[in-house]
Structure 1
Amino acid sequence: METKKNSPIGRPRGFDTDEALERAMLVFWEHGYEGASTAGLTKAMGISTTSKYAAFGNKEELFRKVLKRYTEGPSAYLARALEEPTALGVATAILAGVVRTTTRPAHPHGCLGVQGALSTSDSGQEVRDLLVAWRADGCSCIQERFQRAVDDGDLPPQTDPKLLARYATTFAYGIAVQAASGAGRDELQELADAALRNWPLI
């Protein structure tokens, strides 16, 4: 990991910004946006509050950086799934990815993008809106991929790509909630397999 070498005033920061961001991601993932206190974040990141502001900005700015890292890291299975050659392959890879990501032993269970800010006070409304947009963007990408599958003849012509994408994402979010509630990987994978048994369902 690359360490930023100089702070805004020209002195070495003395910490690995990538590692600090990774630790912040785990705190937000486990506790949600409002549940993650500044003290808890800085302790986990191993830095002072001053260093956090200098390197990452305020709490909301830090969360935005964390969400980008989560999208490119733990949630990167979505981008890979969209490259599958068939719509069934896309859906299978999405559900397998969410099962795998939300049940890793060394990570918090559930999904940062789903549970990070389902309910917030007024001060957290922008983060809540950010995650609503994040989820909507993922669904739109899946819808576009399913539309391509219809156009290519991979899905029946009467298939509604928007409804099918909504079905897939809703089921994936349900898996994430079940994982956060303690459901095991094998159980969740069985549910995912059952959901795709009569593909396409819509």
Structure 2
Amino acid sequence: MASRGRPLTFDPDTALQRALEVFWERGYEGTSISELTRAMGIASASIYAYFGSKESLFRQVMGHYGATAGAPPRNALKEHETAREAIHAMLRATVDQITRPDAPHYCMLILAAPTGAVENEPIREFLADIRRSQFTAIRDRLQRGVDEGELDVSETDIDAVARYYTTVVQGLSVQARDGATRAELESIVTGAMAGWSALTTAA
């Protein structure tokens, strides 16, 4: 938080959005405080005073990311009548987000994670927890399909189905980062949904 009695000389929401753009482009480890100060237009002392450490700033950035770019796929799971429609809409919304012309073509949850330094382990685990929550959200929607009679619990391993579609979501991001076109990503979604019946029916 800002020091008591000292009015802010910057807009926190704008500064957070600019920090998001830097982290999104460079990842956590690849982003320096000097790059953040330039992008946010504020001194490093103001970053530490208002947002805390780089780690604290990143956690706030991810909260902002989840409420903006991360929201459409998550909302898609709730807004459709059947589990199949919800999963399909989630995958389509994921493609929409990772092919936006105004943002890097990948999901921050997948590709902004640190990979090396031991001191960054808390951030790795923080992002892993969010990714695990994706699996949980998909599993919960499948469980709702079971509860509503759409899916037969005796024939559907909802953990396995949820793990599969979580993997598809994360794989789409990697493919987009590596240059896959929107049409190519949509073909992946089509293939993933073509397997719905086999995945939800016991062999």
Determine if contact 1:30/1:109 at 8 Å carries over to the other structure. no
TM-score (norm 1): 0.92
Residue 3 of structure 1 corresponds to: none
Residue 12 of structure 2 corresponds to: 17
From 44, 50, 73, give the equivalent of 1:49: 44
Equivalences, count: 197
Determine if contact 2:28/2:114 at 8 Å carries over to the other structure. no
Residue 117 of structure 1 corresponds to: 113
For residues 163-190 of structure 1, give each alpha carbon's deviation from its aligned partner in whole angstroms, at most 9, with x where no partner exists: 1111111011000001111111121112
Residue 168 of structure 2 corresponds to: 171
RMSD in angstroms over aligned alpha carbons?
Answer: 1.5
Describe the shift of the 1:99–1:7 C-alpha distance in structure 2 as closer, same or farther (beyond 3 A): same
Residue 142 of structure 2 corresponds to: 146
| 1:28 aligns to 2:6 (yes or no) | no
SS at match of 1:35: coil
Residue 123 of structure 2 corresponds to: 127
TM-score (norm 2): 0.92
Any gaps of 5 or more consecutive residues in structure 2? none
Report runs of 4+ in structure 1 exceeding 3 Å deviation.
none
| 1:103 aligns to 2:99 (yes or no) | yes
Residue 82 of structure 2 corresponds to: 86
Any gaps of 5 or more consecutive residues in structure 1? 1-5
1:7 deviates by 3.8
Determine if contact 1:24/1:41 at 8 Å carries over to the other structure. yes
Q: What is the identity percentage for the equivalent residue pairs of Structure 1 and Structure 2? A: 41
1:118 deviates by 5.2
1:115 deviates by 0.9
